[in-house]
Amino acid sequence: MTKGGKFLGLDPIEPHLRAEEPAGHAALVVRGRPLAAEKLAEHARRQSRAFSYCGRPMFSVSADATVAGWTLDVILSDRLWSRSTYATCTVGLLREEGYKLLPTHQEPHFDILLPGGRLEDAAALLALFGETLHNPYKRRTQEHTGGIEHGTARKGGHPL
């Protein structure tokens, strides 16, 4: 159902977009657990029930990118500190495969748009990420580890 070109009940993502783009083709896109196609598809469907993009439900997966001082180490220690594993791919590879990255909410968060919420959509995206790696910064509490200070609070209820 739409009203004025927007799906009823969905929060348009456009007011949450930042002005920058990922720092070129070599920038890394980092995704913490879960790294299973079933879980990514579930996440994309959940996003589509909450957000719209260009007036349509937004099927997307959250990720972080190495932008503006957010190195891989800083992302792993300050953002993905509760995740035991992660995987990466480059912005260039995602773009070459036709994916759009939206710079949403606070740095270094991005949404990777999927064509839909099917298992096949999630599996195709997951296949682009490299091997699953151990996060050396994994810990049980959010105490600061002495790295670069960044505002890591999530706004707008947008889950990672």
Q: Compute CA distances 83 → 1, 31, 86, 117, 132, whole Å.
A: 37, 10, 7, 23, 12
pTM of the shown model? 0.83
Contact of 63 with 110, CB cutoff 8 Å = yes
Could you count the other beta carbons within 10 Å of the beta carbon of residue 95? Answer: 13
Could you count the other beta carbons within 10 Å of the beta carbon of residue 44? Answer: 26
From first to last of its 160 residues, the chain has per-residue pLDDT tens of 444 445 568 999 999 999 887 667 889 999 998 899 999 999 999 999 999 999 999 999 999 999 988 999 999 999 999 999 999 999 999 999 999 999 999 999 999 999 999 999 999 999 999 999 999 999 877 665 444 444 443 333 344 4
